[in-house]
Structure 1
């Protein structure tokens, strides 16, 4: 197999792992366990489904790790296209990785508060539930901040895709829209949080740019010119 095609396939499978693992904590757990505006009900759900909540912690750690390997894999794939852009993409991609590991602390604290214990005897059960909800909200805020880096790293990646010649150019332009979508959602959440859901729903089609890249890398890998045999 051509080296570029092999590197593209490796990056694609890593990207696919990321796309499968990240939604477990970002989407599935909140929709399954969290009750909007009801801290005690949320705490009760977490306590009753502790294994599922722990799975969310593990997948956050896994996602952060895969994000690291994916960024380095994409650097290997695109460094021959433009070294400066490849380095910029790598730096922006790696800046997001520590936030995954830092954010796990909010979920670990949430779990400790829900479980209770002698060291938490000074807090009533409703107080512990409120504190647990606070840390869940902090987790959500960090995710919102992370989207700034999710968006910024897509811009150099998009240009590399467009210039590469071995990935369809339309995917690169789609990634640019994807980057702006992440930035719009993040900034809306920071400045006008009441409109975040509306902006997210409008921006959703643009966010499929990464999925298009994943499918291309996994299925096609890279288009190799006949002369490069």
Structure 2
């Protein structure tokens, strides 16, 4: 198959495949079960849509696992530009994956309290909902911590793209800016959460540069004939 002989397109397709479960887990599932400002309704939704909630957990784990291969594919594509930068990019992305994996334990704990398992008979509904909220908040904090590395890896990636001479430099600049967008989101959520919504509205559109980069690789994804030293 031609695309398998094209490391750029291969990396882009892996990037696309790994992103789809993430969109499902982090955007679609919460939109169906989370009711902001109403933890009781959220608990009822999680219990009523248990299968969907579990699918969201599985999808996030699958997406994170696929991104191991995304990191390796991008390393293979860009190591000829600068091996040290490529290794830094690889390590920064890989660090985020176990954080995201362990973080899904909070999702399972939230589901357990929302359902009200038999061994939780000593907890009344208000207590179960309170504990569910604690674990959902911890889950959000876990994503904020992983988000630090989701941002940091974009800087060496952007620098590699900028230097590559076979990918548009503008994409490299956008990826480096996207690094600081992720960091701003995580820092605000962790340190000054009262400004979280305001900062997110301003910086979240910048993070879409990853999608542009991914689609460029899928569509254009050429194999570099020569690479700089």
Task: Identify the range of structure 1 (121-130 vs 147-156) with the bigger mean alpha-carbon deviation.
Answer: 121-130
Give the deviation of 1:188 after TM superposition: 1.0
User: Aligned partners of 2:162, 2:3: CA distance in 1, in Å?
Assistant: 19
Aligned length: 226
Give the deviation of 1:138 after TM superposition: 0.8
1:95-106 pair list within 5 angstroms = 95-106=95-106
The DSSP-based 3-state class of the residue aligned with 2:6 is helix
Using structure 1 for the length normalisation, give the TM-score.
0.93
Q: Any runs of at least 4 consecutive aligned residues in structure 1 with deviations exceeding 3 A, and if so which?
A: 1-5, 223-226
Query: 2:176 aligned with 1:176, yes or no?
Result: yes
- Per-residue Cα deviation, 1:102-134 (whole angstroms, up to 9, x for no partner): 011011111222222331111112211211111
Using structure 2 for the length normalisation, give the TM-score.
0.93
> Which stretches in structure 1 are left out of the alignment for 5+ residues?
none
Q: Are the counterparts in 2 of residues 4 and 77 from structure 1 also a CA contact under 8 Å?
A: no
Aligned match of 2:192? 192
User: Aligned partners of 1:143, 1:117: CA distance in 2, in Å?
Assistant: 26
Aligned match of 1:81? 81
Give the deviation of 1:4 after TM superposition: 9.6
RMSD: 1.9
User: Aligned partners of 1:71, 1:182: CA distance in 2, in Å?
Assistant: 18
Aligned match of 1:136? 136
Aligned match of 2:108? 108
Give the deviation of 1:5 after TM superposition: 6.5
> Which stretches in structure 2 are left out of the alignment for 5+ residues?
none
Give the deviation of 1:201 after TM superposition: 1.0
User: Aligned partners of 1:114, 1:108: CA distance in 2, in Å?
Assistant: 10
Q: Are the counterparts in 1 of residues 107 and 136 from structure 2 also a CA contact under 8 Å?
A: yes
User: Aligned partners of 2:38, 2:114: CA distance in 1, in Å?
Assistant: 14
Change in Cα spacing, 1:173 to 1:113, as seen in structure 2 (3 Å) is same
